[in-house]
Structure 1
């Protein structure tokens, strides 16, 4: 690049002059950069709106599902019987008497200093499965380790048990079933599986000094106790599933008197779902309103400046809002949603009247829940149409703006190259000017010297 001779001869500030000329030359590029900044702000705002509308579509889609409003709650008259609601629950009531709790088996061996035989071989029969186990040695630690590694559903623990007559420390092996229920009962034999089959292996838990501390047991509840229809239900755990449709109960203590389990429609949950849908709608509308507002401010000189929001005048955003608002507020079978406490306000947002909704739901639950699901279905469709990641209306606008920004970036890059060439030309021109002026000045000095050296003549 040619370097400018900055006013060495002419006295001109050629660098400042070139910079000023370049500012004028760069005006079109500056306008392009401003447009890029404006487009990027719009893209960012559109992406935020698209995310919020997609969230609305997801929420409304869930509320629109057939069983979404089949919401029930269950209660129990005893703290020892707790309830859990799952899908497909329905209203109902049931009395149960808790007869027993589920438990796992626990047994201990007789006191010993080491396993009675070496090599140490034992067999555990649990849940109808026979497992032969060989320990690395006759030490009780090795036997317990081998049992625990065998995954039989039984855990072995070495427990101190005093000393024998010779003063040698003794221990017992405690065997604990990992799972509760009668089917998880187990027996521990000293010997191989073949010896168990032949009935020649001794039962360690039946030996002298050994004991079954706790037997394996199912939990049980009795329905309609004290009547001819009384029926006992058992469970390997303390949880009973689907005694009533979609309802599980867990028991923690036996009972003498019947415990009443009652399942009713949960109007509070239904109201919360409807309120959440309205809140999500208003979140979208509030974002659009905020980004569309005209803001009053002042510039550096104190003059008033009006700045329009990024969505101001945007027909696509306005159309999306109107379609979602219509989906939420349009009549349902000739009835306005306002009859159920869901209404449109003068400012173009939605309002939820909890008391009015609760009263309408209590009076006609079928109609009200159907209305909420219809609103949710329409809102889900409108929101999905706007935010779909492939062909949503807002998505398409974002893609279009991103393409525009890319094209503007290419044009700005072209201007960078053009302006660089123009600056180089100006620098070359002014350098040539300074060089020419320098030559002329030198020639002028030479001529002046020549003239001064000419002889003078006089006339008399």
Structure 2
């Protein structure tokens, strides 16, 4: 609250005067606020850089793993045989003849109008397990519902099947195995488990008018067909795992001619991994460079102004750049990474020469892959030391800046209290001055009036 009485007596603009005095008084606080803003800008930039370095550490750690560059691609000479690779794949070739596809079992009961016995009970034997199933009624809908809820791996469906001699609609129950393979064959009996054990329960799928539409069967492929080494491999599904190390094949049609499967080292993927590591490094170098550059401009008066970047003069950031660059470009067993297409440029960044890398990889894949993993190992160590969330070099600088900002903020808050007290004191002083001047003016006016009211006297002289 302002208690000043602006210029009522003195004519002074006391509010403006106080504000001017307070601006001078607040200069130390203004400097603190400017320092806080500068530190917060630096913290934000450091956090961004730290995030990039942490991402590089993760990428490099993955690349440094022993199998990270064991990358292969596979092809098939027929679209009816597809391949999928998994860790452990290796180069190789194999011819297969697809003899059969995996089948699930399908069977239908004889035509009926309702379940032929009360209570409505059947037993399904699948995978050596007998499951007795009771329906809510003799309705075929209820029977299908009960089968489907039993979880035996068999699904029941009511299918229309004309009318009987009396004109009543008839239906069949179709039983379908949910999984393929000979091991998933099943039998459906009319009756309880005890009756099945006693061999008194009729087989619903072999009864008069019933049928097994499709038997359960395994898929099969033949290797080295027509030779003395011919071998047939079976699978309960249409997928065969590890016919070649780390390679699964899936068949979708029978064949008479061999289908050729090839697995070869994928040089393009290996090159992409190496290129990605270099790109991640260059992203960090670009960030540091951009935020270190000094910008030249002019102010409103036309004078030259130089604006330093947020990292300008920051020795810690400069050290981070040097450590990463050294880790990526130092010799490996006496050989420069440039021999493999990974080199340092005149501007202090990295360069990846895809053509040179491909040539070196084709000539000596073992040495080139080992070189990439060595570079990745060194970069991972350097990047982790910089970005570790507890002991990282950048982490420590960020924490230090945050502590500094916290301390300065506390001092700024203290200045708020001090400045508020100072303003109140000035307002009180100038208000008291106006009051005192007002009292003096009133006294002066009274005295003037008193003097003016005194009787005038004259002295005459006679001679």
> Normalising by the residue count of structure 1, what TM-score does the alignment of the two structures yield?
0.98
Counterpart in the other structure of 1:390: 390
The answer to whether residue 165 in structure 2 is matched with residue 165 in structure 1 is yes
1:77-136 Cα distance to aligned partner (Å, 9 max, x none): 111111111111111111111111111111111121111112210000111111101111
Question: How far apart in 2 are the matches of 1:327 and 1:264?
Answer: 31
Question: How far apart in 2 are the matches of 1:146 and 1:415?
Answer: 80
- State the SS of the aligned residue for 1:227: coil
Question: How far apart in 2 are the matches of 1:231 and 1:398?
Answer: 65
Question: How far apart in 1 are the matches of 2:237 and 2:374?
Answer: 42
Counterpart in the other structure of 2:356: 356
When the two structures are aligned, how many residues end up with a matched partner?
A: 460
More displaced stretch, 35-44 vs 224-233: 224-233
The answer to whether residue 47 in structure 2 is matched with residue 68 in structure 1 is no
Counterpart in the other structure of 1:193: 193
Question: How far apart in 2 are the matches of 1:11 and 1:164?
Answer: 120
Offset, 1:162 = 2.1
The answer to whether residue 282 in structure 2 is matched with residue 270 in structure 1 is no
Offset, 1:204 = 0.7
Question: How far apart in 2 are the matches of 1:80 and 1:432?
Answer: 101
Counterpart in the other structure of 1:15: 15
For residues 320-331 of structure 1, the aligned pairs below 5 Å read 320-331=320-331
Question: How far apart in 2 are the matches of 1:126 and 1:142?
Answer: 21
Counterpart in the other structure of 2:58: 58
Offset, 1:301 = 4.6
Counterpart in the other structure of 1:225: 225
Offset, 1:261 = 1.1
Counterpart in the other structure of 2:243: 243
Counterpart in the other structure of 1:411: 411
For residues 12-91 of structure 1, the aligned pairs below 5 Å read 12-91=12-91
Counterpart in the other structure of 1:377: 377
For residues 58-457 of structure 1, the aligned pairs below 5 Å read 58-457=58-457
Question: How far apart in 1 are the matches of 2:451 and 2:163?
Answer: 137
Question: How far apart in 2 are the matches of 1:310 and 1:206?
Answer: 85
Question: How far apart in 1 are the matches of 2:173 and 2:401?
Answer: 75
- State the SS of the aligned residue for 2:28: helix
Offset, 1:4 = 1.5
Question: How far apart in 2 are the matches of 1:310 and 1:366?
Answer: 44
- State the SS of the aligned residue for 2:158: strand
Q: Which runs of 5+ in 2 are unaligned?
A: none
Question: How far apart in 2 are the matches of 1:373 and 1:232?
Answer: 41
Question: How far apart in 2 are the matches of 1:143 and 1:228?
Answer: 53
1:275-315 Cα distance to aligned partner (Å, 9 max, x none): 11110110111111111111233444554422111111101
Offset, 1:434 = 0.6
Question: How far apart in 2 are the matches of 1:99 and 1:280?
Answer: 49
More displaced stretch, 408-417 vs 302-311: 302-311
1:429-453 Cα distance to aligned partner (Å, 9 max, x none): 0111011011111111111111111
1:152-171 Cα distance to aligned partner (Å, 9 max, x none): 00111112222222222222
- State the SS of the aligned residue for 2:205: helix
1:314-357 Cα distance to aligned partner (Å, 9 max, x none): 01110011000000000000000000000000000000000000
- State the SS of the aligned residue for 1:162: strand
Question: How far apart in 2 are the matches of 1:201 and 1:284?
Answer: 77
Offset, 1:73 = 1.1
Question: How far apart in 2 are the matches of 1:85 and 1:300?
Answer: 66
Question: How far apart in 2 are the matches of 1:96 and 1:219?
Answer: 13
Question: How far apart in 1 are the matches of 2:70 and 2:298?
Answer: 56
Question: How far apart in 2 are the matches of 1:295 and 1:235?
Answer: 69
Question: How far apart in 2 are the matches of 1:10 and 1:452?
Answer: 25
Question: How far apart in 2 are the matches of 1:448 and 1:374?
Answer: 103
Offset, 1:259 = 1.1
- State the SS of the aligned residue for 1:95: strand
